[in-house]
C-alpha cells in the first residue's frame, strides 16, 4: 500500500495496523513526523549496471524541469546533464562505499577528474563514458560549461538539501545497531509492506505548478484553430465536487471517483480504535502529551 499526505494524522491512525502486516517505509523529507526510522533509498545502488545508471539519470532529469528561461539550446544542455549524471551515478556505484554524496560532490566541481578516472579503470563503458563526461565538464568552451552547470544545478537542487541527501544514502550503522532496511521497489510490489509519502503543502503547490506547466513532461505547447466542444472542469467546478468524491488523474480511469468512508470499510472497527494507534505512534516518535 502507498499512502500520501501533507499531514501526520493519516499516518498516525494507520501505521500500527500496517506495521502488523509488513514493513513500514516512511518517506518524510520535511520532518512532518518524528518517526525514528525514516525510509532510505540508496539511489546509487544498482548503477553498477550502465543501463540502470542511464535510466536513473533520465528519471532524475525528467522529474524536475530545467527551468530554462533565457538559456539558449536548453534541450541540448538537458541531454548533457543526463550524460553527466549517468556517468557520476555509474562511477559512484563502482567504488566501495560510493553513494549520492559522491555524485553531488562531483556535480558541484567540474575540475574533479576522479569520476573519469574511475570510469576508465572500472567500467566496461569506461573509455566512451569518460570521454563524454570530459567533453561536457571540461571542454574548452566557457559558455557551454556555464550553461551546463546552470542546468545541472537546477535539476539537482533538491539533492543538495542535507536532509534529502542523507535519506538517499545508506544509513551509518553504529556498533550493535541494526541497519535501517533499504527501500527496493521490486521487493515492495511483491510484499504487504507500506510506503508513507509525507510532504509539506509547499511541495504540493510546487508540484502542481510543475504539472500544469509541463503536462506530459515534454514542456511543449500546441495551438489549434478548429472549434470543438470538450468536457473540461473549470477550477471552480473542482471546488464544488460533492463530499465523498475526489478528482483522480490516472490513465483511462474516470476523473471523478467515489471514496469509501472509513466507517464503511471492512476494518472500520480497527480504525475506530485509532487513538490507540496514535498513542503507539506518538510514543515511537518521542512525543508525550
Beta bridge partners of 198: 5
Predicted TM-score (pTM) of this structure:
0.72
* pLDDT confidence of residue 187: 92
Cβ(31)–Cβ(40) under 8 Å?
no
217 pLDDT above the threshold of 80:
no
- The residues, ordered by sequence, that sit 6+ positions from 258 with a Cβ below 8 Å of its Cβ are 244, 245
pLDDT score, position 214: 41
pLDDT at 275 over 80: no
Segment 140-153 shows an average pLDDT of 85
| Site of grid cell 527551468 | 67
- Of the candidate ranges 14-23, 210-219, 266-275, the one whose mean pLDDT is the lowest: 210-219
> Can you tell me the mean pLDDT for 133-159?
86
pLDDT digits (tens, 9 = 90+) for 77-88: 999 999 999 999
Q: Does 154 or 203 have the greater pLDDT score?
A: 154
Q: Could you tell me which residue, 18 or 173, shows the higher pLDDT?
A: 18
Q: Are 31 and 163 in contact (CB under 8 A)?
A: yes
Quote the percentage of the chain above a pLDDT of 70. 81
Half-sphere exposure of 105 (CA within 13 A, CB side): 11
**Does pLDDT of 213 surpass 60?**
no
Q: What is the pLDDT of residue 203?
A: 52
- The answer to whether residue 55 scores a pLDDT higher than 90 is yes
Distance CA(53)–CA(50), nearest Å, equals: 5
Q: What is the pairing mode between strands 256-258 and 245-247?
A: antiparallel
**Local confidence band at 66 (pLDDT 50, 70, 90 cut-offs):** low
Lowest mean pLDDT among 9-13, 67-71, 265-269: 67-71
Distance CA 44, CA 66 (A): 22
Q: What is the predicted pLDDT for the residue at 61?
A: 92
What's the rounded mean pLDDT across residues 28-46? 90
pLDDT tens column, 167-199? 899 887 654 556 667 888 889 999 999 999 998
Among 111, 114, 64, 68, residue whose Cα is nearest residue 87: 114
Q: What is the mean pLDDT of the segment spanning 32-56?
A: 92
β-partners of residue 246 are: 257
Q: Which residues, including other chains, have CB under 8 Å from residue 97's CB and lie 6 or more apart?
A: none
105-137 per-position pLDDT tens digit: 999 999 999 999 999 999 988 899 999 999 998
Amino acid at each position: 500500500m502507498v499512502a500520501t499526505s501533507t499531514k501526520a494524522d493519516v499516518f498516525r491512525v494507520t501505521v500500527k495496523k500496517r506495521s502488523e502486516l509488513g514493513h513500514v517505509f516512511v518517506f518524510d523529507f520535511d520532518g512532518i513526523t518524528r518517526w525514528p526510522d525514516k525510509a532510505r533509498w540508496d539511489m546509487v545502488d544498482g548503477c553498477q549496471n550502465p543501463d540502470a545508471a542511464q535510466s536513473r539519470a533520465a528519471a532524475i532529469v525528467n522529474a524536475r524541469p530545467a527551468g530554462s528561461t533565457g538559456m539558449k539550446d536548453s534541450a541540448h544542455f538537458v541531454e548533457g546533464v543526463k550524460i553527466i549524471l549517468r556517468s557520476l551515478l555509474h562511477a559512484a556505484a563502482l567504488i566501495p562505499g560510493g553513494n549520492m554524496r559522491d555524485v553531488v560532490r562531483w556535480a558541484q566541481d567540474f575540475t574533479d577528474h576522479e569520476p573519469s578516472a574511475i570510469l576508465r579503470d572500472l567500467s566496461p563503458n569506461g573509455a566512451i563514458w569518460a570521454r563524454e563526461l570530459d567533453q561536457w565538464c571540461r571542454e574548452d568552451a566557457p559558455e557551454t560549461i556555464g550553461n551546463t552547470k546552470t542546468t545541472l544545478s537546477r535539476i539537482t537542487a533538491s539533492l543538495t538539501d542535507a536532509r534529502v541527501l542523507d535519506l538517499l544514502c545508506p544509513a551509518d550503522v553504529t556498533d550493535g545497531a541494526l541497519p535501517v532496511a533499504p527501500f527496493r521497489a521490486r521487493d515492495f510490489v511483491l510484499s504487504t509492506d507500506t510506503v508513507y509519502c509525507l510532504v509539506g503543502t509547499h511541495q504540493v503547490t510546487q508540484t502542481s505548478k510543475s504539472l500544469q506547466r509541463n503536462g506530459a513532461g515534454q514542456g511543449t505547447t500546441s495551438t489549434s484553430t478548429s472549434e470543438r466542444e470538450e468536457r473540461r472542469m473549470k477550477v471552480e467546478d473542482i471546488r464544488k465536487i460533492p463530499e465523498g468524491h475526489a478528482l483522480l488523474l490516472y490513465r483511462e480511469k474516470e476523473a471523478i471517483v467515489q471514496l469509501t468512508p472509513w466507517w464503511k470499510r471492512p476494518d472500520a472497527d480497527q480504525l475506530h480504535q485509532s487513538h490507540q494507534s496514535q498513542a503507539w505512534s506518538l510514543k515511537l516518535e518521542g512525543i508525550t502529551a
